[in-house]
Amino acid sequence: MQPVIKSARFIFILCVLYLFCCACHKTPPTDRAIIKGHITDLKKEKIFLQEAGTMDHLLDSSEVTNGNFSFSIPFKNKQPFQVILCVRDTEDNIPQLNTLGFEDPYNKEMVRSILYAEPGETIIEGERFNRGPFPRFKGGKQSESLHKNYQFSFSLPYTANTDARKKALELYKEKIEAYPYSLSLLETLAKAREDYSPAELNYLLKTFNNEVRNSTVFSEFQFYIKNRDKYSKTVLNMALSTPANKKEKILDTTQKFNLIVFWASWCGPCIEEIPQLKKIYQQYHNKGLAITSISLDINLRNWKATIKQENMPWKQLIVKDTDRVLMSTSYDVHVVPIVFLTDQHGNIISKKQGGFSDSAYQKLLAGL
């Protein structure tokens, strides 16, 4: 009986120790990202967190105390997303935000700035201004996949050789199998989607796991495959928000032509094209041409201020978060500026990245 009692006591003690350890160990939250660090040459200032791919969407700021900072950010649509860290510097007496670079963990000769806000803790440590290594980075699996595959491309060469295409598809499938959870690989594939047939895209997409399949980008992909033929010839006349927060359709179906201009207030080339757009408006708006500018701004205040400053007299709309999936898949706009010229029914006559440096649109509009 004595050994049994001792054994029971021993098991009881182990259970108590286990519960104590569990109570002391803080499990990282699953609904938000923790990004923190220690940059020794940042003393008393702020560090900013900005959504990657935007110039105006600051997510949060953190006070820096003796080089230490910390962010706790809810996931966007319950999904990890790409961010960058920024520090306010002064150049030529003008304050501006500059990105905080860090050493690529997998290629120490390269400096990166984009990381994922994802479950768990992301840590950046080191010195910002020195002649040695850049700050060191330690993140989660999404950041790992992003950095390990930074220069990877899904570009598929145009060839009639079906064996060559099959071989390339198998290599790309193996890459996805190595990172079936990778949102960055999905986004990289999305950039090359025009190279693939719908069957080829579906063949690769089914390799991703449920974590990726539940993402917004995956939903966009499925919508794109289903509607690619339709939207390669016509544009979707969807309703977007005006500066007065009302809904208006993109196309003016009473006019012979519609010029649809995608832009953003932070886009230098977009602003440079506005004077030329004004000339086209003055010349043709009474002859059957409607112009609609569609902004990809996230900061509504900057968008409205730029509209007022530039004094653009034609229709102004903006793509809000609720419209971004449908807009991305139906118009396939990934950079700005991009211009569509359509007839009154939305049939695409021309699509051009950039604007009006050549005479192509002038020739098309000369018949008005």
Summarize pLDDT for 81-134 with one digit per residue, the tens: 999 998 887 665 666 778 888 999 888 888 899 999 999 899 999 887 655 568
Q: Are 260 and 355 in contact (CB under 8 A)?
A: no
The CA angle 244-248-249, to the nearest 5 degrees, is 160
At 30 the three-state DSSP class reads: coil
Each residue of 131-142: b (16+ CB within 10 Å) or e?
Answer: eeebbebebbbb
How many CB atoms within 10 Å of residue 64? 19
Can you give the pLDDT at residue 223?
84
3-class SS shares of the chain: helix, strand, coil, % to 5: 35, 30, 35
Backbone φ and ψ of 2, nearest 5°: -60, -45
Residue type for position 82: Q
Distance CA 129, CA 298 (A): 31
Can you give the pLDDT at residue 202?
93
Q: Are 141 and 178 in contact (CB under 8 A)?
A: no
Residue showing tokens 């999936």: 325
At 221 the three-state DSSP class reads: helix
How many CB atoms within 10 Å of residue 218? 18
- Positions in the chain whose pLDDT score sits under 50: 4, 23-25
